[in-house]
């Protein structure tokens, strides 16, 4: 009985540690393509906090920069991936996001949900860095 109790406690503590490695962290993701002055690399920034995922918008027009977090949805995770759903502000495009927890590759699948393009979908792959929120803020202030 004592051994079963020890195994049970280890499982509980390892599960809460597993959850904490996502919460308070975020992703800075880029589409891998050649950089040019006309078309710089597109970056997406996400922040995970207490079961919610936020899209991070940065405005560098002011000094200091302005950072806004917009609630996207709740995220879910398992041993291999973190996943969530979102939509654009006009609610015309919905997307499904999935991040591989080992290599931090983000797979996005976009669906048009209004107009004549409801059947169309687009897939994008982005390469991400998993960072804590302080590291993300520091990289944005450079």
- Specify the number of domains making up the chain: 1
13 found inside a domain: no
SS3 22: coil
Distance CA 99, CA 81 (A): 5
Band (17; pLDDT cuts 50, 70, 90) = very low
Give the pTM: 0.73
Q: According to the model, what pLDDT value does residue 16 have?
A: 40
Q: According to the model, what pLDDT value does residue 135 have?
A: 92
Residues 34-90 have pLDDT tens digits of: 555 555 557 899 999 999 999 998 887 767 788 899 999 999 999 999 999 998 877
Q: According to the model, what pLDDT value does residue 119 have?
A: 59
Distance CA 108, CA 32 (A): 14
User: Locate tokens 């991070």: which residue?
Assistant: 56
Q: According to the model, what pLDDT value does residue 37 have?
A: 53
81 found inside a domain: yes
Write out the two tokens for 123. Answer: 């897939």
Terminus-to-terminus CA distance in the chain, angstroms? Answer: 56
Q: According to the model, what pLDDT value does residue 52 have?
A: 95
> Taking the CB of residue 45, how many other CB atoms lie within 10 A of it?
20
6 found inside a domain: no
60 found inside a domain: yes
Residues 122-135 have pLDDT tens digits of: 888 999 999 999 99
2 found inside a domain: no
Is it the case that residue 20 has pLDDT exceeding 60?
no
User: Locate tokens 């590291």: which residue?
Assistant: 135
What is the domain extent for residue 117?
A: 23-34+42-140
Question: In this structure, is the dihedral angle defined by the CA atoms of residues 58, 59, 60 and 64, taken in order, positive or negative?
Answer: negative
């Amino acid at each position: 009985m004592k051994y079963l109790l020890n195994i049970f406690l280890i499982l509980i503590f390892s599960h809460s540690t597993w959850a904490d490695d996502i919460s308070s962290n975020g992703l800075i993701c880029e589409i891998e393509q050649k950089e040019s002055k006309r078309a710089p690399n597109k970056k997406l920034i996400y922040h995970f906090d207490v079961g919610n995922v936020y899209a991070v918008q940065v405005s560098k027009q002011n000094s200091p920069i302005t950072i806004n977090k917009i609630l996207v949805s709740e995220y879910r995770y398992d041993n291999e991936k973190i996943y969530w759903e979102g939509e654009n502000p006009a609610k015309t495009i919905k997307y499904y996001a999935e991040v591989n927890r080992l290599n931090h590759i983000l797979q996005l699948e976009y669906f048009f949900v209004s107009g004549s393009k409801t059947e169309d979908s687009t897939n994008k792959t982005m390469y991400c860095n998993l960072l804590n929120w302080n590291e993300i803020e520091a990289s944005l202030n450079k």
